[in-house]
Structure 1
Amino acid sequence: MSHLNSKNLNLPILQNVLLKAEGGMMYLSSTNLEMAVKCYVRGKVDEAGECTIPAKLLFDYVSLLPNETVNLVQDGGNLHITCGRYKTKINGLPASEFPLIPSVQATRSYQLPANEFREGLSRVLFAVASNEARPELTGVCMTFEQSETTGTLVMAATDSYRLAEASVSLPGGVSVPSRVIVPARTLAELSRILSVFRDSVDSPVSVTLHFSDNQLVMSYGQVELTSRLLEGNYPDYRQIIPKQFQTKARLDQGDFVQAVKAASLFSKNGLFDVTLAFDPKDGQLSVRALDATRGENTANCPAEVQGSANTVTVNYRYLLDGLNATSADEVMFQMIDAANPCVITPKEKSDSLYIVMPIKQ
């Protein structure tokens, strides 16, 4: 929780974590005013109490303690910690100064398989815009929809230069279809939480998302995350996804990545351009880059190419982001021509796609 705290000179309390002991539980809360995380651990409570202490200091100190019982004693605004041969006192601030974390009155809830949700997030978060000129693009568009047979969560992110989309099946279905925009920082924190508990024997198999009109609450085992939602309308990205293609190529993901990395060493600084040339006759892809000061490179890799020969120039960084995000051994690269979006999908699955815009010569 310590990394969530902000260094706010006007509100130093935001650098602290709130510890509250009552009813056989120790509750920990942290917030940066945009989102908040709460969690609890079981313990023996002799006397109820609460205090706040610096979050990073607490994390750094506790991570050094042996695997023994930890005793906490509040002394006014300070906290005494003893564990085995270790003893310390941490100065804190009054709990009354800690911001109130509002409760959310949810109007709709959805249950998702935790591992599939975490994997889906890893396939879209990198494509979120970092520039806040268009605030809605700094978040992930999450669409909950119901078909005749199953419920689905479709997540999409774009920065106008590339687009990533991933789908997650919802076994419990979707009772209330909806679309929301969740800040990328919130989903990155959520993904981190799911990753921390991934290898735990008793970690829950599902995560529950609760939504009100402008807030989100994520519940996962002993952890609860609260965040605001982004306002605005997400662009209708579906209209830029090509429906027909002139060239389709089936490639080994590892070979493709290696060829792009080799050519990227000779791409132009600031442009990061590599040219992809598909040859159905020879059954190969050529990845080429040329820089006047460093030289040039051409890397070939085998490809099962259908359709016509084609060439396109793309930003290698965006291309590698999409290729590295897939866990598939083979990918499909589909394109119309050098002026239209290129589509990358896993060969065997239809649960994700990645679009990279070409660099127009």
Structure 2
Amino acid sequence: MRIRLERDTLAEAVQWAARSLPTRPSVPILAGLLVRADATGVVLSSFDYETSAKITVQADVADEGEALVSGRLLADICRSLPAKPVDLTADGTHVELVCGSARFTLQTLPVADYPTLPALPEATGTVPSDLFAHAVGQVVVAAGRDELLPVFTGVRVEIEGETVSLLATDRYRMALREFTWNPATPQTSAVALVPAKVLSDTARSMAAGEQIILSLASSGAGDGIIGFEGHGGGGDRQTTTRLLDGEFPKVRHIMNTQPVMTIRLNTADTIAAARRVSLVAERNTSLRMLIGEGVVTLEAATGDQAQASEALEAVVEQQSGGDLAVTAAGFNPTYLLDALGAFDTPYVNVAFTAPNKPCQLTGLAEIDGDPITDYRHVIMLMRLPS
């Protein structure tokens, strides 16, 4: 195999294909990155039996062939190369990489032992890549990170015709984002539980192209696989991952609970105030929100050592007559900041259902406008000392 391609093209392609390589592979062969050259270009791919990645780029191919080399080492080398064309040659036992006066020789791994990548299922539909990346980014903040509870580390993808719903929860917060897309058939209906980390990495790394093709295997034909495909200036990218097993908790009904009181806040001002006040919050203690007439005060403390408070203008609305149903609420500071940071609207609406019960955040284009419900974020409140 003998190929030549631009340094930036190679570095970007290797980096993308190697991003999902396991840090501690179960077998050494899985640390390899497969480089295959033919008349159509160069294909770089990786696979760890769970997630696969494949990218195709244009190159000058003098001799066709394939080679398997250490993916992380190749990625490190490509990042360090000077901005000159790269010549890559494989002779069976070694790969030689030459860029300007820089020369590297890498030992190859046995290609015959490398597992076959799964094929992409049939296309289910397409979605603009920027919309998909934004929607996924809003939802994954609520996904769990405890690998001992794998069902909470996933994002539930629900497809019903032209509507896609993304739902995630770690039991203490929930996020739901709904958007329209272009299904392959109007009657498309499917559900999948996708690992949140893979979904997030994929959405971000494919944002350069105009759209992403989503492919979900139907039952009985490669069941348990979801694939994504994107096309852009950096090459044609494909990735697949196995779906998570287990039943996702039934939490959608919490999103529909009617509030007894709402407060409307400036998003940026609230984020800035919460960051400042939470600096003195002790581990596992709450950031308190005190609610008054036209004002909200954020408070936190570390015993007697440090205290902080900051007042914010707010529009406080009682949904049913009488005194304020909620006068104080306790938030996990990280959860509150994660939720606020997921909104791209200038204002946010915080809806309370009852003291010490979950509250729901939605975006507002204007302080007196209607809540934008395509993205909803629920936070379980922390119990405050009486």
Taking the aligned partners of 1:247 and 1:74, their CA distance within structure 2 comes to 68
Aligned to 2:53: 37
TM (norm. structure 1) is 0.90
Q: Are residues 50 and 99 of structure 1, via their aligned partners in 2, closer, same or farther at CA, if it must alter by over 3 Å?
A: same
The alpha-carbon deviation at position 265 of structure 1 amounts to 2.4
Partner SS state of residue 351, structure 1: strand
Q: Secondary structure at the match of 1:132?
A: coil
What does residue 224 of structure 2 align with? 214
Question: 1:267-290 CA deviation, whole Å, 9 max, x = no partner?
Answer: 232x2301112223xx11111123
User: The residue matched to 1:245 in structure 2 has which SS?
Assistant: coil
- Determine which of 176, 180, 186 is the counterpart of 1:165: 176
Q: Offset at 1:315?
A: 0.8
Is the CA contact (8 Å cut-off) linking 1:140 and 1:155 kept in structure 2?
yes
Equivalent residue number for residue 43 of structure 2? 27
Q: Is the 1:24–1:44 Cα contact (8 Å) retained in structure 2?
A: no
The aligned counterpart of 1:130 is 145
2:350 aligned to 333, 346, 349, which one?
A: 333
Q: Does 1:278 find its partner at 2:301?
A: no
The 5 A counterparts of 1:59-138 are 59-106=75-122, 109-138=124-153
Provide Cα deviations, 1:226-264, integer angstroms capped at 9, x if missing partner. 111112221221122243212111110111112222221
Q: Kindly tell me: are residues 61 and 306 of structure 1, through their superposed partners in 2, closer, same or farther at Cα, counting changes over 3 Å? A: same
Amino acid at match of 1:50: E
Residue 52 of structure 1 and its aligned partner are, at CA, apart by: 0.7
Kept after mapping to 1: 8 A contact 2:121/2:226: no
Alpha-carbon distance in 1 for matches of 2:351, 2:117: 48
Cα separation, 1, equivalents of 2:87 and 2:303: 66
Cα deviation digits, residues 118-149 of structure 1 (max 9, x gap): 00111011211112343221100011123xxx
TM-superposed deviation, 1:14: 1.4
Check the 8 A contact 1:79/1:90 in 2, yes or no: yes
Identity of aligned residues (%): 25
Distance in 1, matches of 2:261 and 2:175, equals: 21
Equivalent position amino acid for 1:138 in 2: T
Report the Cα distance in structure 1 between the residues aligned to 2:146 and 2:225, rounded to whole angstroms. 22
Change in Cα spacing, 1:10 to 1:155, as seen in structure 2 (3 Å) is closer
Q: Give the whole-Å Cα distance in 1 for the aligned partners of 2:34 and 2:340.
A: 42
Bigger shift: 9-18 or 221-230? 9-18
- Structure 2 CA distance, aligned partners of 1:78 and 1:129? 42
Q: Which amino acid aligns with 1:144?
A: I
Equivalent residue number for residue 193 of structure 1: 205
Deviates more, 1:64-73 or 1:339-348: 64-73
**CA–CA distance in 2 between the matches of 1:244 and 1:174?**
32
> Where do 5+ consecutive residues of structure 1 fail to align?
none
Q: CA RMSD in A?
A: 1.8
Q: In structure 1, which of residues 250, 253, 261 is the aligned counterpart of residue 264 of structure 2?
A: 250
Question: Quick one: which amino acid aligns to residue 383 of structure 2?
Answer: K
Instruction: Count matched residues.
Output: 346
Task: Give the secondary-structure state (helix, strand or coil) at the position aligned to 2:259.
Answer: coil
Q: Decide which moves more: 168-177 or 82-91.
A: 168-177
Shift of 1:302: 0.5
Question: Contact 2:42/2:58 (CA < 8 Å) preserved in 1?
Answer: yes
TM-score w.r.t. structure 2 length?
0.85
Shift of 1:171: 4.1
Aligned to 1:12: 28
Residue aligning to 2:3: none
- Could you tell me whether the CA contact under 8 Å between 2:150 and 2:244 is conserved in 1? yes
For 1:111, the aligned partner's letter is T
Which consecutive unaligned segments of at least 5 residues does structure 2 have?
1-16, 218-222, 366-371
Secondary structure (helix, strand or coil) at the match of 2:73 reads helix
Return the alpha-carbon distance in structure 2 between the equivalents of residues 83 and 336 of structure 1: 63
